[in-house]
Structure 1
Amino acid sequence: MNPWFFLLAAIACEVLGTSLMKLANVEAPLLGHLAMYVLITLAYYFLARAMERIPLGIAYALWEAVGLVLIALVGVVVFSESLSPWQALGLFLLLGGIGLLNGDTANQAEARS
């Protein structure tokens, strides 16, 4: 199966699991924590599967960065949290760094071929 699918599944599970962490403390502690643990476990499983074909640094960086941005957006949209301009700039720079990291990795792969 495509390793990028596994990476996207890992990111989705991380975002859902982390978002449930906040809900678990307010709405349904037992069910929320159980779902959170299952999703975080799945996130690590899918990340490990993605790393079978995607370089460690790339997979982990994408997992963390995209997950962080999406979790911040969930905080804003679902939990009515706010982002300061500095926080928004930090998230933007984070995504830019990931883009540079991925672009350089693609260039290195082409150079080896």
Structure 2
Amino acid sequence: MFYWILLALAIVAEITGTLSLKWASQGDSLAGFILMMVMISLSYIFLAFSVKKIALGVAYAMWEGVGIILITIFSVLLFDETLSVSKVVGLAILISGIVLIKTGTLKNKTTEVQHGV
């Protein structure tokens, strides 16, 4: 459970860092760039620790996929970006892919345990 919490923290840090990138590009302050650098760095650190017990493919798919979904939602809400039908379809396909990767990983682990691998 601890490693899933680290993955969640990696996702939150990634979202915060990416959104601060947009914020920094709209203003004259260095604070946004500093926040971006700190949060993206923390995101990679948390991700690195989470893959000690979570399969790399699953962790990366969730980190990137959930991050993209939430960044898109927050971009629409905070920065008035548009959400087209093609973006919604793309996000739905992304969610399907994450679910398939996660499900495939669970089945492979179960098979390995049953076969004594």
TM-score by length of 2: 0.92
Match of 1:84 in 2: 84
TM-score by length of 1: 0.95
Q: Which runs of 5+ in 1 are unaligned?
A: none
Match of 2:94 in 1: 94
51 and 32 in structure 1: CA distance in 2 versus 1, 3 angstrom threshold: same
Match of 2:73 in 1: 73
Structure 1, residues 5-64: CA drift from partner, whole Å, max 9, x if none? 010000000000000001112235311101110000000000000011111111111111
Correspondence 1:46-65 to 2 at 5 A: 46-65=46-65
Residue type of the partner of 1:19? L
Q: Which runs of 5+ in 2 are unaligned?
A: none
Question: Which secondary structure state, in structure 2, belongs to the residue aligned with residue 78 of structure 1?
Answer: helix
Question: Which secondary structure state, in structure 2, belongs to the residue aligned with residue 53 of structure 1?
Answer: coil
Correspondence 1:23-38 to 2 at 5 A: 23-38=23-38
Match of 2:20 in 1: 20
Question: Which secondary structure state, in structure 1, belongs to the residue aligned with residue 52 of structure 2?
Answer: coil
Residue type of the partner of 1:59? A
- The 4+ residue runs of structure 1 with deviation greater than 6 A are none
